C-alpha cells in the first residue's frame, strides 16, 4: 500500500516558528493522526548549533544562534537556501542511514536536472560537487529520529549569501568549501525555480524508501 506524503510549501519562516511546527507535526505523525510530511521553506538568517558544537564555535556577529537537538555541529540557514524537513515514520530505527541516502539521491537528481554534477563523499553526509577545484558542499543533511519519526532535514544552497559561512566551520568540516547552485551555474537561479524539481525527486526518493522498507518487512522472518 502506498504511503501518503503531505507536501507543504511554507515560504519564509523564522527558525523557531518552523521548529515548533516540526515538533507539532512530528507528534501527529508519531501518533498516526497525520501522514508523513515534507515541509519546504526558507529561513531568515540564523545559525543552528548541533549537539557537538562548542561555545567557541558559535559566532558573535549578532546573527541568532539556536541550539538544536540534532547531531553534528554548527551551520547557517538563510534566504536563498531551500530547506526541506521530511517528517517520516520509519519502519525501523536502523533504517536511518538508508533514509539519509535516499534524500541524498533525490538532491543529486535535482542538481543533475539543472546540469550540476554532484555526488556523495565517503565519510561525509550531504551532497558535494567534486572536481579539479576541490570538494564543495552544495547541500547539508542532518536528521534526528525520535519515537520512530524523523525530523530536521536538508538544506540545499540555491542562491544564498555564502559569506555567512565564513564565520563558522560549516558542519565541523574545515578542509572543504561551500558552494551553491548559482555559483556552479554562473547564473541567477531562484528557490521558486528549484522547488518543483525538489518536490518531484524527493517524493520519488522517499516513496522508493517506503517501498524498500515495506518489502523488508514482508521479507523478514517472524
**What is the set of active-site residues?**
171
CB 202 within 8 A of CB 106: yes
Placement of cell 517472524 in the chain? 222
Could you list the beta-strand ranges (E) of 29-109: 36-42, 46-49, 65-67, 74-77, 81-87
Report the distance separating Cα 156 and Cα 75, nearest Å.
Answer: 12
Report the distance separating Cα 93 and Cα 150, nearest Å.
Answer: 9
Report the distance separating Cα 112 and Cα 214, nearest Å.
Answer: 28
Q: Bridge partners of 131?
A: 134
Question: Could you tell me which residues come within 8 angstroms of residue 154 by beta carbon, excluding any fewer than 6 positions away?
Answer: 83, 84, 86, 103, 107, 126, 139, 140, 141, 142
First to last CA, the chain: 20
Report the distance separating Cα 92 and Cα 89, nearest Å.
Answer: 9
Q: Nearest 5°: phi and psi at 143?
A: -120, 140
Amino acid at each position: 500500500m502506498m504511503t501518503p506524503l503531505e507536501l507543504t510549501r511554507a515560504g519564509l519562516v523564522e527558525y523557531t516558528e518552523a521548529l515548533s511546527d516540526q515538533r507539532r507535526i512530528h507528534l501527529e505523525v508519531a501518533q498516526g493522526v497525520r501522514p508523513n510530511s515534507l515541509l519546504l521553506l526558507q529561513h531568515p538568517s540564523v545559525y543552528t548549533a548541533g549537539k557537538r558544537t562548542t561555545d567557541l564555535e558559535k559566532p558573535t556577529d549578532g546573527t541568532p544562534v539556536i541550539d538544536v537537538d540534532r547531531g553534528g555541529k554548527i551551520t547557517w540557514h538563510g534566504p536563498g537556501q531551500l530547506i526541506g524537513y521530511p517528517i517520516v515514520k520509519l519502519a525501523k530505527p536502523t533504517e536511518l542511514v538508508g533514509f539519509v541516502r535516499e534524500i541524498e539521491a533525490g538532491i543529486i537528481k535535482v542538481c543533475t536536472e539543472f546540469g550540476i554534477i554532484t555526488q556523495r563523499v565517503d565519510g561525509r553526509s550531504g551532497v558535494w560537487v567534486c572536481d579539479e577545484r576541490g570538494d564543495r558542499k552544495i547541500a547539508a543533511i542532518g536528521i534526528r529520529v525520535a519515537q520512530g519519526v524523523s525530523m530536521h532535514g536538508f538544506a540545499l544552497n540555491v542562491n544564498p549569501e555564502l559569506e555567512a559561512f565564513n564565520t563558522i566551520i560549516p558542519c565541523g568540516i574545515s578542509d572543504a568549501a561551500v558552494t551553491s547552485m548559482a555559483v556552479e551555474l554562473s547564473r541567477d537561479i531562484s528557490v521558486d525555480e528549484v522547488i518543483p524539481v525538489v518536490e518531484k525527486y524527493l517524493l520519488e526518493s522517499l516513496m522508493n524508501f517506503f517501498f524498500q522498507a515495506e518489502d523488508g518487512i514482508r521479507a523478514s522472518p517472524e
